[in-house]
Amino acid sequence: MDKLENMAKEFNTQAVRDWIKYTCTGTFHFKEVMQGLVDPKVRDKKIRQILFELCHEKDPIVESVGKKDGHYRPIQDLPQLLDWQASPLEQRFNLKLPFELETYIWIYPETVGAIGGSKSASKTGFILETVLMNMNNVNTILLSNLEGGTGQMTDRFNSFAKAMGIELPHPALFKVYPVFENFHDMIKEKNTLYLIDYIDVPESGEFYMIAPQISKVRQHLVGKNSVAIIALQKPFGRKLPFGKDQVLKDLTFYAAMESKKLEIVDAKKWIDPLVNPVGLTFNFSIDHSAGGKIVDIQRGGYADEEN
């Protein structure tokens, strides 16, 4: 007999334990326990006491969540032991970036970088060009919210490829998936460069929710030897994206684009230990006849020297 059918026969501590182990996938409210399997009236009389016992046994399998009354989460099992010494020393992920950023910033596998830009700052152009620059060398996947539609993406890829002297085969050497939320769920492949265009501000306007989304992407990269580069929205006139400093904590680098200028705002490790790339700027133009491709890149000075 199916495990769920067994649970439905009798509502008791073991039935709730089995539901948490075999069915629950994350944080839950007590009224979700065995929903549709038992009479809610029967469940609601016992569930609080059962969950209390499961929270306070010697090896608890569940815990209450913060100050949210009636919310719980399963306690995770110990993960697989990490053999960190098996990782090669001074390992870098083999990728190329516009502005040759990879020659200034050390990018480890299993890390996340980000490009912030206000509207029309060319952050999508940065992402699309990165796809084309890497498709021949590494498994490349674009997770796009298709803000301009599929037709515009097709036109831009073809225009970029022509301007770069690249012939796009059919099918292309990279994959594109339409994704609008929960980007971390798509991080499944090993040895892969993920480009995410873009993580938007939540409809609720709760900017603090952007950082947890980036953190989940980083967590899903662990063990896959993959890297993610994310486009983020930022207000015009400010370097940091929506979410501010909280967003930076999970990023190996962050660069801001505005008014045809890119600045490396943060970098955790430098290619040359004696050359700090933080604050380094680049000026550029946008070729609208080539789909909005970034062109005429010129290295500038450091932002604090220019102000």
Contacts of 91 (CB under 8 A, 6+ apart): 108, 109
Complete DSSP assignment for 62-119: EEE-TT-TTEEEEPPPPPPPP-GGGSPTT-------GGGGGGTB---TT-EEEEEE-T
Model pLDDT, residue 254: 97
Task: Give the number of other CB atoms < 10 A from CB of residue 143.
Answer: 25
Phi, psi (rounded to 5 degrees) for 167: -100, 120
Tokens of 285: 């133009």
Report how far residue 187's alpha carbon sits from residue 207's, in angstroms, rounded to the nearest whole number.
Answer: 23
Model pLDDT, residue 203: 65
**pLDDT truncated to tens, each residue of the chain (307 aa)?**
455 444 445 788 998 998 888 888 788 898 888 887 888 888 888 888 999 999 999 889 899 887 667 889 898 877 777 776 777 766 889 999 999 999 999 999 999 999 999 888 889 999 999 999 999 999 999 999 888 889 999 999 999 999 999 989 889 999 999 998 889 999 999 999 999 998 877 666 677 778 888 999 999 999 899 999 999 989 898 999 888 888 899 999 999 999 899 999 999 999 999 999 999 999 999 999 898 999 999 999 998 766 5
Chain center to CA of 158: 26
The residue to which tokens 């225009």 are assigned = 159
Model pLDDT, residue 41: 83
Model pLDDT, residue 7: 45
Stated length of the chain: 307
241: which DSSP letter? P
Phi, psi (rounded to 5 degrees) for 30: -60, -25
Query: Strand 175-178 vs strand 192-199: parallel, antiparallel, or unpaired?
Result: unpaired
Identity of the amino acid at 217 = V
Q: Which pTM does this prediction carry?
A: 0.78
Contacts of 54 (CB under 8 A, 6+ apart): 13, 16, 17, 20, 60, 61, 62
Domain 93-306, CATH class in plain words: alpha beta
Nearest in space to 47 (alpha carbons), one of 11, 5, 78, 81: 11
Query: Strand 112-117 vs strand 253-258: parallel, antiparallel, or unpaired?
Result: parallel
Contact assessment for residue 93 and residue 101, using Cβ atoms and an 8 Å cutoff: no
Report how far residue 29's alpha carbon sits from residue 19's, in angstroms, rounded to the nearest whole number.
Answer: 13
What strands, in cross-sheet order, belong to the sheet with 227-233? 175-178, 139-144, 192-199, 227-233, 112-117, 253-258, 261-267, 280-287, 293-302
* Residue/partner pairs of 168-173 with CB below 8 Å, 24 or more apart: 172/135, 173/135, 173/136, 173/140
